Amino acid sequence: MILETLICTIYIFLFTYIVWKSAFFSAAGVPKSYFLSVFFLKIIIGVVGWQLYNSFYPVNDAIGFYNSSKVLYDLFFQNQEHFFKLFFGQEDDSLKPYLVQLTGWEDGYLTLFVNDSRTIIRYNTILQFFSFGAYHVHTIVSCFLSFVGLTFIYKSLLFFIKEKSKLLLVVIFLLPSVLFWSSMVFKESLVFLGLGLVLYHSHIGLRRAYSLSSILYLLLGFLFMFIIKPYLLFCLLPALIANAIFVRLKKPRGVVFVYLLLFSFLFLIVIGLHALLPKYDLIQKLKDKQELFNKSARGGVYLTANDYYVFVEYNERYDKLFYLSDSTCRLKPNVAFKKFRLNQPDSTLIKTEDYAHLYKIAYDSKPAGSYFKMDELDGSVTQLLMLSPRKLINVLFLTDFFKQKGRLIRLSVVENYLLLLALLMAICFGDFEKKNLPIVLFCLCFVVSLYIITGFTTPVLGAIVRYKVPAATFLGVIIVILYSPQKWKLFLMRLFSKRS
């Protein structure tokens, strides 16, 4: 305990020195001490928040991925050949004893593009070489990385709204959900780093000329997002491209036309892929993603053998399976099972010879506590368009959250409605400047896209709380842009004068 505290203290001093000495962590009208205070607050939230979160949810991704990284780290000193095979995704029979110990490593079938769970395990494994087993060193590093990313986002917006620098600092760094989820060892720390790199080095798509270094940082930001949460690229890229086209046009008032034209063009591409190239059908891929999330959320046991899977309900696992170890089992005879391959329905009954196979347990989990049944996609364009407004409203107003009693869910509801109230007040008593229209449109497109994708694919309210966190930042930005101190003061003066 004393050694861990000493190591953490050293890292806090190191990052404090970097923040204090670097000109990057500064802005006109905002003292350096503000940035340093935010960084210290993130560390406090990261440590204290982790203790509270761990007491509510003792089994969670963060500790599971950390423990898996410890297995990989120990393996480096035992057998470096096996370490590098596992670290870079090579698998053979000699690695099975280690794979059993890697929580989340085999969740790849639940992921549409890449296995982001493995990415986080690798990230924590690298940190193990610097943390010497001290968990909160991972917390401090995650705080710093997300702090860097949020500073990138903050400074990218200062290009356009310098006059509200302090208010902007509050909504970028201090929104409760952003502060909480980005200050612990979760994927959000790298997500905000990737977002920040992209937005800062592209000026939110409004940069006219790019240096080689800017291009490299942009690619790095896109890489972070692709390997952690690739669906965010679908929320980000269209609006970035629209701003990039707009800034190169000679008509300064054509930004709305550019957005409408680009999104119409993208919609036609989606329709064309749906009709002509089923292999690249994005609507079908969204349907597949929904099915995979549903399978994950409802819990149960997923077994694999000979490139197919067998699913067993969680409460039926001991009635239908013989557990040989934590990683393998056999099917009980005279019990009917169905097998399926990835992205295909569970419709094929297993054959007699399938009972003889030794099955590997790919996934074994209880149903998610806040799981809810959602509208299932049928892969058609018409249904997608009809359901999209409802999904947007569900996530925007958290309409299903009032049925739940989870503490984090309740806090998320409170923050969400305070944001919506602030947005309403900013609209009613705001002063919008046309020069900020590209930023507002970018934020709106990002928020709407993220809400719709989340609404279609996520059947767990607790997961929605985390997945919608990046959107809270951009809702806050819209509020800052619309907010008018003069009109708000005038409103308050009239309100109190009437009462008196």
DSSP secondary structure string for all residues of 23-86: TTS-BTTB-HHHHHHHHHHHHHHHHHHHHHHHHH-SS-HHHHHHHHHHHHHHHHHH-HHHHHHH
Q: What is the pLDDT of residue 347?
A: 64
H/E element, 237: helix 231-247
pLDDT in tens, the chain (500 residues): 788 899 999 999 999 999 999 999 998 888 899 999 999 999 999 999 888 888 777 767 778 788 889 989 999 999 898 899 888 877 777 777 777 677 767 654 444 344 467 888 899 999 999 998 899 999 999 999 999 999 999 999 998 888 889 999 999 999 999 999 999 998 899 999 999 999 999 999 999 899 999 999 999 999 989 888 888 999 999 999 999 999 988 666 689 999 999 999 999 999 998 888 888 888 888 887 887 777 777 778 888 888 788 888 888 989 999 998 777 899 998 888 888 876 565 567 888 888 988 898 877 777 777 777 788 888 889 999 999 999 999 898 887 766 666 667 778 888 999 999 999 988 888 888 888 999 999 999 999 999 999 999 888 887 888 889 999 999 999 999 998 877 777 766 776 766 65
Token reading at 88: 């870079």
Q: How far is 500 from 484, CA to CA, in rounded Å?
A: 25
Token reading at 82: 């096996």
Q: How far is 406 from 460, CA to CA, in rounded Å?
A: 12
Which residues 6+ apart lie within 8 Å of 365 measured at CB?
296, 299, 300, 314
Closest by CA position to 366, among listed 288, 469, 462: 462
H/E element, 242: helix 231-247
Q: What is the pTM of this model?
A: 0.88
Token reading at 266: 């993208």
Whether the CB-CB separation of 320 and 93 falls below 8 Å is answered with no
Whether the CB-CB separation of 149 and 53 falls below 8 Å is answered with no
Q: What is the pLDDT of residue 111?
A: 44
Token reading at 93: 């029979």
Q: What is the pLDDT of residue 240?
A: 96
Token reading at 171: 């909504």
Token reading at 107: 């969740």
Whether the CB-CB separation of 218 and 226 falls below 8 Å is answered with no
Query: How far is residue 297 CA from its own chain's centroid?
Result: 17
State the pairing for strand pair 300-305/359-365: antiparallel
Q: What is the pLDDT of residue 430?
A: 80
Q: How many CB atoms lie within 10 A of CB 231?
A: 19
Q: How far is 302 from 317, CA to CA, in rounded Å?
A: 10
